[in-house]
Structure 1
Amino acid sequence: MCDVDLDDLDFTRRPYDRWKAYDQSKTACALLAVSLDKCGRHHGIRSFAVHPGMIITPGIRHITWSELDSFGAVAADGSPVVDPVRDMKASEQGAATTVWCATSPALDSMGGVYCENCDVAPAEQDGPCGVRPYAVDPQRAELSWQASDRSRHRKDLILRLIV
């Protein structure tokens, strides 16, 4: 939903906004997939960014009830809304794209792509689905890689991805 501010990865020079930080982290993950794929493809290692959909899990513990309600993510009884047409999925449905990326022969010759709904997402400027072109741009990925190289967080991030 927004590009990464490469000059202020840690929100040290601008007011912190948790939704902007979340959106930037998702873009950064997509760009990292592009960079990691570039590094690993010659060794037979491919990397993908995966969008599982909106899934109500314990990870949303910091989102208020009113925010969840405004997203239409919970029913009146408090149960999660499952409506794949609106990208609201059960955990199993959300996991399907990750499993597809790990096993699909359709991806044998590609990597560094953004996947959703068990397919490679189309590049879209607007809308709820697809990937923004800046999130899979190889030049932007290289700039992001360089910016993260200057950041104290990259080593930890890479180690978490490997483990």
Structure 2
Amino acid sequence: MGTPQQRIGSGFGGRSTAREVLEGVDLTGRLAVVTGGYSGIGLETTRALAGAGARVVVPARRPEAAAEALEGIEGVEVDGLDLSDQDDVRGFAARFLKTGRAIDVLVNGAGVMACPRATAGPGWEYQFATNHLGHFTLVNRLWPALADGGARVVSVSSAGHQASPIRWEDPWFDRGYDRWLAYGQSKTANALLAVHLDRLGAAFGVRAFSLHPGAILTPLQRHMTREEMVDRGWIDENGALADPAFKTPEQGAATQVWAAASPELDGVGGVYCEDCDVAVPAGTDPDRAGVRDHAVDPVQAERLWAFSAELTGEDAFA
């Protein structure tokens, strides 16, 4: 039986920082894997987890850039990983498993947003392939280490999930590409992965979460023009932040760090979080925050798992 999608009163909020939510939490001896852990909110996640004593592995598409960004942070190691390339994902997982180490935390944080139409693998839409299928294969290939560690698996979704459920009739956008709907579908997939992984993994002590980190200016916006961001009210004509609702990267990292390590979530799983708490269903929030039903539906989650397993040939539970 899943955890109710309702706030638990964590005592933190949208302006809490990653460091604040880990105050008093000792992660010495724990190992975390953080995809995208060298840029934007991923970098702040790595910094916070390492600062609390964890050993952090950062698999990166650009290992040299990652090593440079992470220089000076103790307890961090870098490896190569291109999530859009299934063989590359398997290669990273194989190298990690050879070390014989257990994983206590896996943060599925890397991703792309609103990029031009492109494909990966055998014609898979690029955002779905990278944001979801890459992490799906990673989870399944790392399963022995996750189970050994009784890990928490944290998938970074987005409020963008509200734009689109899984488009079962046209998941690859063959009938016309919309980069924002494609992003929304991939973020729904991130949330649904957590729902079904938690259902499968709870018996092994593995719990899964998804989350909306908030709006933050990071390199994730690299496929947007300045004009687009001005039109949306995110920045002004000079490129300065204009929307007071935006968070700093340290605040944006807080919810995923909270989900990864807070003792408040012991025995909890399968839920979508935001602002360092379990989110409410969007239908009950007057500001339309929270999570849409299509992103936490266990029937949709099970269907997506089966679809992803068929596409990738990966299923640790088969």
Category of TM-score, reference length = shorter chain: 0.7 to 0.9
CA distance in 2, matches of 1:128, 1:63: 24
1:130 paired with 2:271, answer no
Of residues 113-122 and 95-104 in structure 1, the stretch that sits farther from structure 2 once superposed is 95-104
**Mapped contact 1:6–1:144 kept (Cα < 8 A):** no
CA distance in 1, matches of 2:243, 2:252: 11
1:92 paired with 2:250, answer yes
TM-score after normalising by structure 2: 0.45
SS in 2 for 1:47: strand
CA distance in 2, matches of 1:101, 1:81: 29
| 1:149 matched residue in structure 2 | 309
**Aligned partner of 1:8 among 143, 151, 170:** 170
1:24 paired with 2:191, answer no
SS in 2 for 1:139: helix
Structure 1: 5+ residue stretches without partners: 159-163
TM-superposition CA deviations, 1:105-144 (whole Å, max 9, x none)? 2211211110100000001137441000110011111111
| 1:42 matched residue in structure 2 | 203
TM-superposition CA deviations, 1:23-54 (whole Å, max 9, x none)? 11111100011111112111111111021111
| 1:59 matched residue in structure 2 | 220
**More strand as a share of residues:** 2
TM-superposition CA deviations, 1:54-104 (whole Å, max 9, x none)? 111112111122221122111342123462xx3x21110000001111122
**Comparing both chains, which one has the higher relative contact order based on Cα–Cα distances under 8 Å and sequence gaps of 6 or more?**
1
Question: What is the CA RMSD across the aligned residues, in angstroms?
Answer: 1.9
- Number of residues paired by the alignment? 151
Identity value in percent: 48
CA distance in 2, matches of 1:148, 1:59: 24
Residue 3 of structure 1 aligns with an amino acid whose one-letter code is P
Runs of at least 4 residues off by over 4 Å:
none
**More helix as a share of residues:** 1
CA distance in 2, matches of 1:121, 1:95: 16
| 2:194 matched residue in structure 1 | 33
Residue 94 of structure 1 aligns with an amino acid whose one-letter code is G
Of residues 30-39 and 62-71 in structure 1, the stretch that sits farther from structure 2 once superposed is 62-71
CA distance in 2, matches of 1:151, 1:79: 42
Residue 69 of structure 1 aligns with an amino acid whose one-letter code is V
| 1:113 matched residue in structure 2 | 271
**Mapped contact 1:82–1:89 kept (Cα < 8 A):** no
Residue 297 of structure 2 aligns with an amino acid whose one-letter code is D
CA distance in 1, matches of 2:185, 2:289: 17
Structure 2: 5+ residue stretches without partners: 1-161
TM-score after normalising by structure 1: 0.84
**Mapped contact 2:226–2:239 kept (Cα < 8 A):** no
**Mapped contact 2:211–2:255 kept (Cα < 8 A):** yes
Residue 63 of structure 1 aligns with an amino acid whose one-letter code is M
CA distance in 1, matches of 2:198, 2:297: 13
